[in-house]
Every structure is written in structure tokens, then in C-alpha cells.
Structure 1
Amino acid sequence: MCSPPHQLTMKPTSRVATKRRLMFRTPAPCDHRLTSHARCRFPWSQVLFLSMFSLALQAPLSTQYLWDRISEDLGYNGSKRSECSNGSVPPDPLQTEVETLTAHWNLYISLGGFSVGLLVVPLLGSWSDLAGRRPVLILPNLGLALQAVVYLVVMYLKLPVVYFLLGRLLSGLSGDFNAILAGCFAYVADTSDRKSRTIRVAVLEACLGLSGMLASIIGGQWRRAQGYINPFWLVLATNLAAALYAYLFVRESVLPDPSAKLLTFRHHKAIWHVFSSTGSTSEEGGRLHRCKLWLYTLCFFMVVTVHFGSRELYVLYELSSPLCWGPALIGYGSAAQHLAYLSSLLGLKIMQRCLEDSWVALVGLASNIIGLVVFSVADTTQLMFTGYALCFLFMAATPVLRSKLSKMVGPSEQGALFASVACVESLCLLVGSGLFNSLYPATLHFMKGFPFLLAAIILFIPAGIIG
């Protein structure tokens, strides 16, 4: 429980001291240093909710827009083909070409964001250990808003889809969504103890799922009713609202250093120190510490690579034969996928009562593997939603891995750690997009769902390491 004001024994000796304490006091939830119950809230969750809402709203719409623009350029109109849902009819070569080009453009856009974000995110994350977390929550949202402006200009003027890449590069220069994740998870580490950190990280990831679910439902119905432009205006407004909320309402969780510089190699050195330090005075303990840190990072890399890589294929898989889903069904499918964030939080909370965190991660991986196997053979709407239902615990592994990594570094290294984790996520996006977007068109001729089957096989590796 939070201590009420009358229980505090330390009193400020002057107005200046009072002002400085209010400015720099750590706003940890239920921290004994707080002077008001009103501060025992989770302001970072609202920022992440808004940012994820905009991302989940635009991601499926961007893929569908690429599909429609490429189809228009090639003269393909698969939505009116009566044989689309008939699996016995050979796939249309023109449809295959549309699928291939859409997958490749998804890859190029992801590569653009990765190439810039790989340099920017480590700077922002490590810099936040010195300058504070709030700038890392504000700047990337402004960059995402600028990306939405570019997308709107492309849609209004019907410019070539290559300009989507320009918007992605501008977003990457501000850190992109990965910088927001790094700032929010570092904020959680600042304001939680070791015992409650796993569940708090899971709560944060549940915010991702809830906002993604709402955005997916709204986006699918809205796109069918009014097209692409109006939903992207909401994307722009949501990113601006997130930046404004972080500026007005989020208090600092670290003591800011006004002299901290952003453009310096010191931040990259801090990240290297996180993974090269022993964490123990003994040589044997130091080797064990580094081994655990690298192994957990490897597990995180594989799990998130599968998440990112398979996620980009769902819309393509559902748009084409034999499913041929429309915008509404695609929205429901994306909502079902994001609903697993909430069910994973509930499952993690229940399983923590009788299982250790490592076993919780294994159960989550098992749920993901089974769901991916079903996706690989799904040729009906019912079977596709069965796969979504079986993945109801697929997000239970990532909060456990984030929590374990966070517990292995000191309080002053949380920003550097989660910046490196964000870089790993960027690398996951690159590898996942490159692998699965290249594999999908290459395997259409013998097994349409082979990338999902491969993803399930890959997950056995982190399961074996954790086990």
C-alpha cells in the first residue's frame, strides 16, 4: 500500500527543497516515498496503449493498401473471382505475382526502418538512463506521426508505393515503436521490485494486446466503409495524443542529468558493458552470468523473430485463395490474435501461483507451436480461427524473458538493457521479415502454409534452452 502523507517523517526545509523533490522524485507505483495516492498509477501504460493502437491500426491497412495498389497496377481483381474460395482451382499466376510483390515491399519497408533504428534506438535507450525516460516516450511518437503524414500524402496523391519507405525512414530516425517499448519497459523496471516485475511486464504487454485488438476491429470495419484515408487520420491523431500525454502527465522515474549528451559513443559502450560485465566478483560466477544473459537473449531473439515473421504473413495468407477474407474478417482475425495478449496475462497470473517463470514460458511456447501447426494447414475460416484460439497463451513467454533479463542488470543499466533488447527486436523484425516474406512466395507451389510450420519448428530451440 502507498504511504499516506501524514506517515512521512522527512519534511522539506525550504520551498526550493520542496520543489526539487517534487520534480525529481521517482514516481514508483506504491512506493513509500510518494506523497499522494494519486501518483500510484501507470502513466506509461496509457502512452503505450495509444502508440500500439496507432501501430495496430495502420499495419494491416498498409499491407492491404499495398495489395490493392499493386493489384491495380497489374490489372488483377481477385475479389470478384468466383473460384477464389475453391481450393481445387489452380492459383491464378497474376494473384501469385501480387502476393510476391506485396511480400517484397513489406520486406523493403521493414529493412528501411531497421537500418536507421539500429543506430538510433541504442542511443535513445542508453541516453534515457541519464536524461530521463520521458524524451524516449515523446520523440518516437512524433516520428510515427510524421510517418502517418507521409502515408496520407501517398494515398491522397496516389504516389508510388516507394514513398512508404520514405515515411518508414523518417520514423526510424526518431527511434520508431521500438524506442517507445524500450522506454516503457525501462520505466517498469525503475518502478517495480524483482518479485512483481514479471507480472508488471505482462501487464504492459497486455496493453499492447488490448489496444491492438480494438484497433484491428475498428480498422477492418472502417476500411470497408470509408477506405484507407480516414483511418490514417486517426493514426496521426493518436500518435500526437500519445506524445502530448507523455509530455503533460508522465513523471520522471530517474533523476535527469541536464548535461547528458545524446550523440556520443558512450551510450553504445554502456550497452556493450551490459553484456560483457561479469555481474559477479568470481570468475566462474561471471562466466555463468554472461552465459545466462546471452542464452536468454538468444531465446528472446528466436521467439520474437517467429512472432514478427509470421505476423506479416497472416494478412497475405487470409487475402488470397482459398480463404479470400475481406477487410472485416481480417480485422476480426487480427483482433483474435491481439486478444491472446490478454489471455496470456490471465494465464501467466494463474500459472505463477503453482509454476516457476521458466515453466510458464514453456507453456506459452507450446501454445504457440500448436497454433502455428494449425495455421500451416488452415484452408477454411473455421480452421483459421481455431489456430487463433489455440494460440491463447503464445505471449506468455516474452514477459518472462524480459523480466529475467531485467533482473540480471543493475538499476542504472535498465535503459541500456532495454535499448539492446529493442535492437534485438529490430533485428528480429529484419530477420523475420526477410526470412518469411522470402519463404512465403517461394513455397506457394508446394505448401502455402509451410512458413508457419517452419516457425513452429524454430520455437523448439528456445523451448529446449529454457527447459
Structure 2
Amino acid sequence: MDEPDTAAILPGDVLDAAPTDDQLSDTLGHKEEAGEPTSSSVRPPFPCCLPVSVEPVMFLSMFSLALQAPLSTQYLWDRISEDLGYNGSKRSECGNSSMPPDPLQKEVETLTAHWNLYISLGGFSVGLLVVPLLGSWSDLAGRRPVLIFPNLGMALQAVVYLVVMYLKLPVVYFLVGRLLSGLSGDFNAILAGCFAYVADTSDRRSRTFRVAVLEACLGLSGMLASIIGGQWRRAQGYINPFWLVLATNLASALYAYLFVRESVPQVPTARLFSTHHHKAVWHLYSTGGSSNESGGGFHRCKLWLYTLCFFVVVTVHFGSRELYVLYELSSPLCWGSELIGFGSAALNLAYLSSLLGLKIMQCCLEDSWVALVGLASNIIGLIVFSVADTTELMFTGYGLSFLFMASTPVFRSKLSKLVDPSEQGALFASVACVESLCFLVGSGVFNSLYPATLHFMKGFPFLFAAIILLIPVGIIGTLQYLDQRRNHGDSTVS
């Protein structure tokens, strides 16, 4: 029987983010007793004395991603509009629903959505192979390399984007930069490394909240980047903000190298290019892991079902996120870069409100009910987005989505609790693989669905997203009911 998912969380739990010297010594001691190879290189050149560990890495990496994502879409829009001779942003009838739709605007929207699709598919299809390789490899080589190399790859992507903007090269070169970033693992590898690090250094009692704190870093950095990006692009164009993207990725890699303590013992002979890493991920899901010995088939079933829930929710998050800028740029909203920045900031603010809501709800609700509340907030917000034709209604949708990120920390925590501590690396490698697939499927489905449904309902992709979120709602509710029956049966027998 699984241990309870919820418990009272002490105020000091969040301050235990960085592993102490005693914790690292205990970890190494256990490995040495088990006869496993260890390495003495567990300390960075300048160990950070602050009560943080990988949070700054997550913050800086997400800042660069959130800064460049909407700017890249707007740059594609402007370049394609320039090539086609479209100047819709200055049309007096923009936002006037009585005017007939401009066929040139529809062509710009379609081409921009398709280029977003090609770039996303290129990067994430490569990452789908690389991320699980890096995640499982980090079990042997350590977490720090997985925090450093992807940041360098994202910095290289920013360099390619800057060259395209300076020389006004064809937008197809954006795809080249995206592929280079994907080969290094991209942002998904950083996510895998950070969450695996938190699993290494937390206990079952505090893990859900620790994961939520890490995800809140995503929201805070995304909110700041969205505000800065919109204002900066309006004042100085695209090039200067992308220099900050480059600097931020380099700073994140440098911080990981200089300050992050290693959380797992290192094996100097560990090979990166080995089939063992992919086999370890497959073995976890085919057998249910070592902890499945006492849980039977139901345990393995839960592992698959929670992964399915995570897949559906994250696919909706990232698939719909790519459409917000397109939806807001065009008629009837016709937002400029400033309003787009505020909209992205409102969306990312939900990371912080979800963290606060999760903290409060955990005092009286089990984790499964917290996830259901978060999913309900997400569904309601998407329904409002699907019919939003005014600025006020669009921001209402952002407000109603204030708890939409409360479900993903629960899924990550539940998955982590289903496997043994020795299997955390393989688990988060598989989660990273699923997350890469989420980007791939989300980009493909939503960027294809948006232009295909413009003629009958512009907000249909958001309505479609709300409908498919009913799948994880049903799964979580059913598993919670079955768990309660099992617990009640065990207590009756006792």
C-alpha cells in the first residue's frame, strides 16, 4: 500500500533545497557500503552557502526561454508580413467585426503557425532521443553536466537567431538553431536534471511542495521575461532582447558549474552513448520498478496512468501556449507587444498563485483533490479563451486560470513516490522523454488545428484543449476512489 501523499509541511522545508555536506556524505557512505563506485568530485569550485540549489538554474533558463519564445513568434509574424506586403497592424478596421476578414492576414497567420510547427517539430523530435539519454546518464555521471550542456546549446541557438536578425537571413535558419539546441538536450533536459536533483535531496513528505517551488521558479522568471520582452521589443526591436537571452543562458551554465553541489555519486567511466540508458527507462515502465514487487499489477498500472495524465496536461499547456500570441496579434484583439507581454506575464503569474494555492489546499485536501482543483481552473480558463473577443475577456480567462499549474507538481510527486530512491534517475529520464513528446504532439496538433479551424471558430483549439483535460480528471478521480476503497478495506481487516 502506498504511503500517504500529503502531510503537514513545515515552514523550513523549502529552505532545505540545497543538500548539506552531511546529506552528501551519507549518500556517498551508503554507496560505498553497497560497493558502488563513487567519485570525490561532488563539490563545485565555489559551493553556494545560500539555501538554494538548482532553483537559480531553473530561473535563468526559463527566463531566457520565456523571453525568446513570444519574440520569436512576433519576429516570424513581422518577417512573413513584410515578405507578403501585409501591414495589418496599422489597418483602421482592425478589431472591427463588421469588416470582412482580410485573406492576407489569414495567410500570415497560417504561415506563422506552420513555421512555429516546423521549428518546434525539428527541435523536439531531436530532443525526444537526446533527453532520456542525458537523464539516465546523469544517474552515473552526475546531475551537473545535464544542467550545463543544455544551457550552452540554448546559448548557441540564441547566437544563430541573432545572426538571422542581423543579416536578415531566411527564417528557415531558425530551424537550424533549434536543431542545435535540441542536440544538447534543450530546456527539457534542464527540467529533467532539476527535478531529479530535487528528488535526490528531498523526502516523501515534502516532495510535492518542493517540486511546486521549483515550478514556481518557472512562473516567476516567465512573468518577468514576458514584461521585459514586450516593453523592450517595443522600444528597441528584437536584437537587444536576444543578446540578453544569450547572456542568461551562459550565466545559468556558469552558475551550475561554479555553485551547484553534486547530488549523486559519479562514475568516471560512465559512457554517454550507450543503449543502457534507454533500456533503463524502458525497464522501469515494463516492470513497474523494484517497488512493484509488493504492489502487483495495480502499481504498474498507476505508473502508466499518472504518466498519461501528465502527458495530456503538459501537452495542453504547451500546445495552447504557442497559440496565445497568434490569437492576440490578430483580429479582433489586435494586441501590440506591450499587451502581449502583460498577457504572458498574467499566464506565468499562475505559477505563483498555484504554489500558494497548493500550499493552502494541502492543509485540508489530499494531493489528488489538489490536482482536480487545478484541472478545473485550467478547463474554465480555456473555455473563456475560446470565446474571448475583447481584451477584458481575455484577461478574465487568465485570471480564472490562476490554479492551472497546481496539477503538474502532484503528478511529478506521485510518480516519484511510486519508485525506489535508486530509480529516480530513470524515472525522471522517462518523464523528460514524455515531456519532449508533449512538446512534439502539442506543437503538431495545436499549430495545425489553429489555421484549420479559423474559418468557423477561431478559439476552437482552446475549447478542444478543455475537452481533452476531462481525461486526466476522470483518471485521477477513479484512482482516488480505488485508493480510498483499498485503504478502507485494509483498515477493516486490521
TM-score range, shorter chain: over 0.9
How many angstroms apart in 2 are the aligned matches of 1:243 and 1:25?
Answer: 16
Structure 1 residues 280, 258: CA separation in 2 closer, same or farther (over 3 Å shift)? closer
CA contact (8 A) 1:213 1:334 kept: yes
Structure 1 residues 190, 283: CA separation in 2 closer, same or farther (over 3 Å shift)? closer
Residue matched to 1:414: 424
CA offset at residue 43 of structure 1? 2.1
CA contact (8 A) 1:348 1:396 kept: yes
Amino acid at match of 2:299: H
The TM-score with structure 1 as length reference comes to: 0.92
Q: Give the match's secondary structure for 2:170.
A: coil
CA offset at residue 39 of structure 1? 4.6
CA contact (8 A) 1:116 1:169 kept: yes
Structure 1 residues 283, 131: CA separation in 2 closer, same or farther (over 3 Å shift)? closer
Moved more, 225-234 or 406-415: 406-415
CA contact (8 A) 1:280 1:286 kept: no
Q: Give the match's secondary structure for 1:451.
A: helix
How many angstroms apart in 2 are the aligned matches of 1:240 and 1:139?
Answer: 10
After superposition, the C-alpha distances for 1:6-42 in whole angstroms (9 at most, x for unaligned) are 9xx99xxxxxxxxx9985489xxxxxxxxx9x75622
CA offset at residue 430 of structure 1? 1.2
CA offset at residue 412 of structure 1? 2.2
> RMSD value over aligned CA atoms?
2.1
Matched, 1:259 2:284: no
5+ unaligned residues in a row in structure 2: which ranges? 1-11, 27-37, 478-494
Residue matched to 1:440: 450
How many angstroms apart in 2 are the aligned matches of 1:335 and 1:420?
Answer: 30
How many angstroms apart in 2 are the aligned matches of 1:145 and 1:414?
Answer: 28
How many angstroms apart in 2 are the aligned matches of 1:25 and 1:157?
Answer: 43
After superposition, the C-alpha distances for 1:385-443 in whole angstroms (9 at most, x for unaligned) are 00000000000000000000111112222122112111111111111111111111111
Structure 1 residues 183, 5: CA separation in 2 closer, same or farther (over 3 Å shift)? closer
Moved more, 146-155 or 78-87: 78-87
Matched, 1:403 2:413: yes
Match of 2:307 among 297, 307, 319: 297
Residue matched to 1:101: 111
Q: Give the match's secondary structure for 2:54.
A: helix
How many angstroms apart in 1 are the aligned matches of 2:271 and 2:460?
Answer: 48
How many angstroms apart in 1 are the aligned matches of 2:211 and 2:85?
Answer: 47
How many angstroms apart in 2 are the aligned matches of 1:337 and 1:419?
Answer: 27
Structure 1 residues 280, 52: CA separation in 2 closer, same or farther (over 3 Å shift)? closer
Amino acid at match of 2:141: A
How many angstroms apart in 2 are the aligned matches of 1:330 and 1:443?
Answer: 22
Residue matched to 1:357: 367
Spell out the pairing of 1:93-172 with structure 2 (5 A cutoff): 93-172=103-182
Spell out the pairing of 1:319-334 with structure 2 (5 A cutoff): 319-334=329-344
5+ unaligned residues in a row in structure 1: which ranges? 11-19, 27-35
Residue matched to 1:73: 83
Q: Give the match's secondary structure for 1:419.
A: helix
Structure 1 residues 177, 4: CA separation in 2 closer, same or farther (over 3 Å shift)? closer
Residue matched to 1:384: 394
After superposition, the C-alpha distances for 1:333-356 in whole angstroms (9 at most, x for unaligned) are 000000000000000000000000
Residue matched to 1:32: none
Structure 1 residues 278, 453: CA separation in 2 closer, same or farther (over 3 Å shift)? closer
CA contact (8 A) 2:41 2:266 kept: no
Structure 1 residues 150, 427: CA separation in 2 closer, same or farther (over 3 Å shift)? same
Moved more, 140-149 or 280-289: 280-289
Q: Give the match's secondary structure for 1:43.
A: coil
CA contact (8 A) 1:279 1:289 kept: no
How many angstroms apart in 1 are the aligned matches of 2:394 and 2:292?
Answer: 52
CA contact (8 A) 2:66 2:222 kept: yes
Amino acid at match of 1:431: V
Structure 1 residues 209, 318: CA separation in 2 closer, same or farther (over 3 Å shift)? same
The TM-score with structure 2 as length reference comes to: 0.87
Structure 1 residues 263, 385: CA separation in 2 closer, same or farther (over 3 Å shift)? same
CA offset at residue 123 of structure 1? 1.0
Structure 1 residues 52, 282: CA separation in 2 closer, same or farther (over 3 Å shift)? closer
After superposition, the C-alpha distances for 1:255-305 in whole angstroms (9 at most, x for unaligned) are 111011100000001101111224468878321111000000000000001
After superposition, the C-alpha distances for 1:72-95 in whole angstroms (9 at most, x for unaligned) are 000000111011111221210000
Amino acid at match of 2:270: A
How many angstroms apart in 1 are the aligned matches of 2:100 and 2:58?
Answer: 44
Number of paired residues?
Answer: 446
Residue matched to 2:33: none
After superposition, the C-alpha distances for 1:114-136 in whole angstroms (9 at most, x for unaligned) are 22111111110000001100000
Q: Give the match's secondary structure for 1:49.
A: helix
Structure 1 residues 79, 268: CA separation in 2 closer, same or farther (over 3 Å shift)? same
Match of 2:217 among 189, 207, 225: 207
How many angstroms apart in 2 are the aligned matches of 1:91 and 1:388?
Answer: 26
How many angstroms apart in 1 are the aligned matches of 2:313 and 2:147?
Answer: 25
Q: Give the match's secondary structure for 1:321.
A: coil
Residue matched to 2:470: 460
Matched, 1:224 2:206: no
After superposition, the C-alpha distances for 1:179-222 in whole angstroms (9 at most, x for unaligned) are 00000000000000001000000000000000000000000000
Structure 1 residues 437, 284: CA separation in 2 closer, same or farther (over 3 Å shift)? same
Q: Give the match's secondary structure for 1:322.
A: coil
How many angstroms apart in 1 are the aligned matches of 2:394 and 2:115?
Answer: 25
Amino acid at match of 2:221: S
